[in-house]
Structure 1
Amino acid sequence: MGTISRRTFMQQAGLLAGATALRAADAPVDHTLEIATTKVDLSPKRSIRTTAYNGQVPGPLLRLREGRPVRIKVTNRSANPEIVHWHGLFLPSAMDGAMEEGSPMIAPGASLVYEFSPRPAGFRWFHTHTFAGGDFSKGQYTGQHGLLYVDPANEPGQFDAEFFLTLHDWQGQLLGSDDGSMNPSYDISTINGRTLGYGDPLQVRQNQRIKLQILNSSPTETHWISLAGHRFEVVALDGNPIPKPQLVPMLRLAPAERVTAFVTMDNPGVWILGEVRKHVQAAGMGIVVAYAGASGKPVWQQPQTLSWDYTVFGAPEAKQNEAVEVIPLEFSAKFKGHGAMEEWCINGKSYPNTDSPVLKTGQRYRLLLKNPSLDDHPIHLHRHVFELRSLSGARATRGILKDTVLVPARGEAAVEFVADNPGPTLLHCHQQNHMDLGFMMVFRYA
């Protein structure tokens, strides 16, 4: 079989009509999503037209109950075939929303109904999973991202207010780097689709304990977030509770990562919650946090260093009794010169020509993620959760459960998961440009 690009593969695969896994679109549904082009005012001086859900950015917050069946009708009013990926949920492959796993695309003008019993509980999200190929009007470069929270059967709810925040970057251009790769650069960055000072402030009161649910939906960029005058008590990563909640001065979120944190509002004033790096905050990534009765210009306090370590949230490594099968995965790029990147590879192969390891149901696997490249890579595993075991330069750890992990440039990570959800299962870099250039592979169950 000759080498073909992801674009060609998807074009050849075509639209899967009349998928038996999806019920008739005219039956009663619990939620509706409409994919369409809409105008979004990012700032007082900057409006764009982008594809979004229900005419808003981010899309609607869907609150579902763990284990309670739900039916969500998606209608595609855009000009291109689309698909919705339910990121972080344990779904059958046909429902997951990835064409590479066999989920059907939605033709322009058509509707499909996704039906599933949501699990696990926690902070998830949904987004497009289509090819963009450097077209900033498609894929993750658009406004097609929405928040999804699966409420557990019982949750104590020991907080006074809850805020959902979505980080996103817009209107990019491809720039060449020293290693020959092409990476996007962005003109504007937002929280909840608005630049700093344009969106509504978060209104709080003294002595409140607020809960922040933060998603990085950026197509390619990692972000560091701080709240001036306050610290974050991190309690969950990617929607999954951590063994050791910790107070930290800032958060780091790679594309697709989520952080759940509490903040005790014990420092009255008008503050800025925003990106730590000055040039990104200047591009708009920030939001005002205002105490009741406070006034004045919002205050920012600039941290001097970038700080983040997954492993501080984990338990000490313990002796492992489970039998583990190791799968080494090495990431690399092949270039064709003149500043244009040809493809990203896993173990020397680019999708759809990557290997497809066969998993045995019930077996525990360790993925050794080796990254000798010059780029960080947020690695996402569909339809499963994995446990972070080790990371370059940090201690071994247990108990941190995630679906996306940032593997540093010239570094490596080890994660483990149990093969407990049969069906084609996609693993890929969550950077849109890397995914488009073949950075993905599909695990298959025996």
Structure 2
Amino acid sequence: MAAGAAVFPGVASALADADYTIDIAPYSLEVAPRRFIKTIAYNQQVPGPLLRLKEGVPVTIDVANHSGNEEVVHWHGLFLPSDVDGAMEEGTPAVPPGSKARYTYTPRPAGFRWYHTHTFAGGDFKKGLYTGQEGFLMIEPRENAARYDQEFFLALHDFGANLEGSGDGSMNPAYDVSTINGRTLGFGEPLRVKQGQRVLLHVLNSSATEPHWLAFAGHQLRVVALDGNKVPQPKVVPMLRLSPAERVCVEVEMDRPGVWVLGEVRKHVMAAGMGIVVEYAGSSGKPQWQQPEKLVWDYLQFGAASDASAAESKAIEVPLVFQSKFAGHGAMDEWMINGKSYPKTDTVALTRGQRYRLMFINKSQDDHPVHLHRHTFELKKMAGRDTSGILKDTVLVTAGTQAEVEFTADNPGLTLFHCHQQNHMDMGFMMLFRYA
């Protein structure tokens, strides 16, 4: 079967067994003792199963949809054909309720990616990324990667038993439960470590709409990769900031025996449950937390100095202006790119092999974590400051600022660009690139 094929019932049953199976179905998630959230999940767990794939080695994954809505699985951060990438806007078929699909592809590039639903939710907070439909995707490099004593995968996610809009016209959901790996702080098993170990943490923000700030009491975090891509300048930082869909990989030296909290820096979010206990072997007692005084984060500290000799970029500039339009009291705002909302947004033609500079001009009062499918881009300028070498697939463009990124058009096919906040995407913050 050709890479990128989606196969439905009657055909899939005649094919060989898949390497992996993902079952989409309703699930009752116990986020705290005797507190359950009714959601939709992969394989009856939140987050879904960790898939470890080998770069360049073809894989077949069956997806069975036992939910009541059509679904699709997006393989976030991979360079895939449009018909298997997992966005219906690009041409990946939806999986109807009660049906199956088969995804066959060759995973690349190596690094920490993830997979998740890519469906419309609108005002229904029991659909899309508001659910528990997310999972870790690790693409192992062809060569042996650096080894660590332990590695942990952590997904930050927000839930609400009865989510409702905020009433301010933007319909931003207000959450009452925040979790790490589907559990609130103190519920479930701690991360168990030993003194002297070097630990690698793979952190994902799978929240539908919320950024998160994460610190590890008593320890420093050495950032080695953003969105699964190694950074030019690894740096030790006191905390991480992750916008929706972003990933950060950090090294931690286990040199402070005790029982500690790894958790959200903002007090009200930790109070909602976002934290996890880290316990050294032989240690016991109440988990310790040290409250940072302020929020600190800067992408550019991980970048290489911009090369002045390369100032004359040969990239074609593509301005993309972000604005909102008031849609009326009680309605969700419409989001626009260059004055138009999806599906009426312009489709930009790309020439294979050409370098492009996307100029994100945020004229709105909201921050936007914007994501480009099927490609990786390089940060070139953030709020007037030059940089180079930082490779990402999602970047936060803060309110009232401009960011510039470059990518090479090297993966033909329809390519979706959108804000990764579910409510912004649903209300028109999307557009397509196409190859000429």
TM range (shorter): over 0.9
* 1:48 positional shift: 1.5
* 1:290 positional shift: 0.5
The verdict on how the C-alpha distance between 1:96 and 1:156 changes in structure 2, with shifts beyond 3 A counting, is: closer
Matches of 2:56 and 2:42, distance apart in 1: 25
- The 5 Å alignment of 1:331-410 reads 331-392=322-383, 395-410=385-400
- The 5 Å alignment of 1:40-439 reads 40-171=29-160, 172-177=163-168, 180-318=169-307, 319-320=309-310, 323-392=314-383, 395-439=385-429
Letter of the 1:337 counterpart: G
Describe the superposition over 1:26-56 as per-residue Cα deviations: whole angstroms up to 9, x where unpaired: 2221000000001110101410111100000
Letter of the 2:341 counterpart: S
1:270 and 1:290 in contact (8 A); partners too: yes
1:334 and 1:341 in contact (8 A); partners too: no
Matches of 1:232 and 1:285, distance apart in 2: 18
* 1:322 positional shift: 5.1
Matches of 1:327 and 1:389, distance apart in 2: 14
* 1:342 positional shift: 3.7
| Greater mean deviation of Cα atoms: 180-189 or 347-356 | 180-189
Matches of 1:322 and 1:151, distance apart in 2: 33
| Greater mean deviation of Cα atoms: 426-435 or 167-176 | 167-176
What is the SS of the residue equivalent to 1:21? coil
Letter of the 1:140 counterpart: L
What is the SS of the residue equivalent to 1:311? helix
Letter of the 2:202 counterpart: Q
Matches of 2:267 and 2:334, distance apart in 1: 32
Q: For residue 6 of structure 2, what is the aligned residue in structure 1? A: 22
The verdict on how the C-alpha distance between 1:20 and 1:376 changes in structure 2, with shifts beyond 3 A counting, is: closer
Letter of the 2:317 counterpart: V
TM-score, structure 2 as length reference = 0.96
Matches of 2:128 and 2:145, distance apart in 1: 37
Q: For residue 13 of structure 1, what is the aligned residue in structure 2? A: none
The verdict on how the C-alpha distance between 1:20 and 1:328 changes in structure 2, with shifts beyond 3 A counting, is: closer
* 1:20 positional shift: 8.5
What is the SS of the residue equivalent to 2:204? strand
Describe the superposition over 1:278-332 as per-residue Cα deviations: whole angstroms up to 9, x where unpaired: 0000000000000000111000000000000000000000132651100000101
Letter of the 1:368 counterpart: M
User: Unpaired segments of 5 or more residues in structure 2?
Assistant: none
Letter of the 1:142 counterpart: T
Letter of the 1:429 counterpart: C
Describe the superposition over 1:413-445 as per-residue Cα deviations: whole angstroms up to 9, x where unpaired: 101000000000000000000001010000010
Describe the superposition over 1:185-222 as per-residue Cα deviations: whole angstroms up to 9, x where unpaired: 10100000000000210000011100000000000000
* 1:157 positional shift: 2.7
Describe the superposition over 1:218-246 as per-residue Cα deviations: whole angstroms up to 9, x where unpaired: 00000000000001110000000110000
Q: Size of the alignment, in residue pairs?
A: 425
* 1:174 positional shift: 1.1
What is the SS of the residue equivalent to 2:12? coil
Letter of the 2:165 counterpart: L
Moved over 6 A (4+): none
* 1:159 positional shift: 1.3
* 1:340 positional shift: 2.6
Letter of the 2:347 counterpart: S
Letter of the 2:381 counterpart: S
Residue 440 in 1 paired to residue 430 in 2?
A: yes
Describe the superposition over 1:383-429 as per-residue Cα deviations: whole angstroms up to 9, x where unpaired: 00000011116x31100000000000111110100000000000000
Matches of 1:155 and 1:302, distance apart in 2: 38
Q: In angstroms, what is the RMSD of aligned CA positions? A: 1.3
1:80 and 1:107 in contact (8 A); partners too: yes
| Greater mean deviation of Cα atoms: 20-29 or 293-302 | 20-29
The verdict on how the C-alpha distance between 1:283 and 1:20 changes in structure 2, with shifts beyond 3 A counting, is: closer
Letter of the 1:189 counterpart: S
2:5 and 2:102 in contact (8 A); partners too: no
**What percentage of residue pairs aligned between the two structures are identical?**
63
2:50 and 2:137 in contact (8 A); partners too: yes
Describe the superposition over 1:339-393 as per-residue Cα deviations: whole angstroms up to 9, x where unpaired: 4334100001000000001000000000000111111000000000000011116
Letter of the 1:297 counterpart: K
Matches of 1:53 and 1:410, distance apart in 2: 38
TM-score, structure 1 as length reference = 0.93
Matches of 1:214 and 1:205, distance apart in 2: 20
Letter of the 1:115 counterpart: T
What is the SS of the residue equivalent to 1:186? coil
Matches of 1:336 and 1:435, distance apart in 2: 15
